[in-house]
Amino acid sequence: MLYFVEVLLEALFLSVDPYMRVAAKKLKEGDSMMGEQVARVVESKNSAFPTGTIVVALLGWTSHSISDGNGLRKLPAEWPDKLPLSLALGTVGMPGLTAYFGLLDICGLKGGETVLVNAAAGAVGSVVGQIAKLKGCKVVGTAGSDEKVAYLKKLGFDVAFNYKTVKSLEEALRTASPDGYDCYFDNVGGEFSNTVILQMKTFGRIAICGAISQYNRTGPCPPGPSPEVIIYQQLRMEGFIVTRWQGEVRQKALTDLMNWVSEGKIRYHEYITEGFEKMPAAFMGMLKGDNLGKTIVKA
């Protein structure tokens, strides 16, 4: 039975994301796994969310939820019919916003610069590269399979290579951009980033979004970058979480992303698994790099 202002929600699409691997370490037995989902209101006592309303919310790994309306975000009223609802968990959602703000705010991207992004065929990296191209930049992307590299080239990346098969990451990066990199959007961390930092241009900017290479680490962290390089190249590194941006700036970013996708300026790929019971398998597969684009579970 629903109480006054409560709504009953049914999950339509659920997201699995790398950050969950770190956040899950704080969970105790009996806690629910965190995460966003696109859900439909199937019963409502809340006039703000009538039956049939589609929302995005941090409801976790649940097929059904009861909410008093707090934390529920309706899809934008202007959401085009031709766009799948699942995109609200990907390119026109948290991953897209992460790419948008990390590149434009943290890196302060300018036209004509050279951008490097790793995990470039993933939900965030693929949007980073395409926004950078929209802004008139040269884009270098790295990925972990030849299939993903081919996808990056279809998206318009200037250079893309498989970091697992090159003889030397250092040489491959230098060949891709002999004069170095202005902006580095880091999803991976670890030794990969140590190699990149040595090739940053003076006054280069580094947006640290993730460290997926370290999430399953059992031993000590690898050594960090040399302080001398950061000092003498006058580099700026900043980690960030996308929830920093709220209100009007967030809405503008979502509108920009939605318009770019609708106009075909940003392309997307979804890696969809069907069945709520497949959530753990989809999550583990994403961490192993099975996915091309955004990993989504259709409930």
- The tens digit of pLDDT for each residue in 173-196 reads 999 999 999 999 999 888 999 999
Which amino acid is residue 112, in one-letter code? G
Question: How much of the chain is in helix, strand and coil states, percent to nearest 5?
Answer: 35, 25, 40
What pLDDT does 246 receive? 96
With contact defined as beta carbons under 8 Å apart, do 39 and 54 qualify? yes
Tens of pLDDT, residue by residue over 69-86, are 999 999 988 999 999 999
Is there a contact between 65 and 59 (Cβ–Cβ < 8 Å)?
Answer: yes
Residue 264 Ramachandran class (φ > 0 left, ψ -120 to 50 alpha, else beta): left
CA separation, residue 183 to residues 96, 118, 200, 217, 253 (Å): 18, 12, 8, 27, 20
* Backbone conformation region of residue 112, classed left if phi is above 0, alpha if psi is from -120 to 50, else beta: left
Task: Tell me how far apart the 2 most distant CA atoms of the chain are, in Å.
Answer: 65
Percent of the chain with pLDDT over 70: 99
pTM of the predicted model as reported, rounded to 2 decimal places: 0.93
Q: pLDDT > 90: what percent of the chain?
A: 84
Averaged pLDDT, 11-37: 91
If you average pLDDT over residues 41-66, what whole number do you get? 96
Mean pLDDT of 87-108: 97
- For the stretch 198-212, pLDDT in tens is 999 999 999 999 887
Cα distance between residue 141 and residue 296, in whole Å: 23
Averaged pLDDT of the chain:
94
User: Which pair of structure tokens corresponds to residue 281?
Assistant: 């398998």
pLDDT reported for residue 171: 98
pLDDT at residue 190, rounded to an integer = 87
Local structure of residue 212 (DSSP, 8 states): G
CA distance 91 to 97: 8
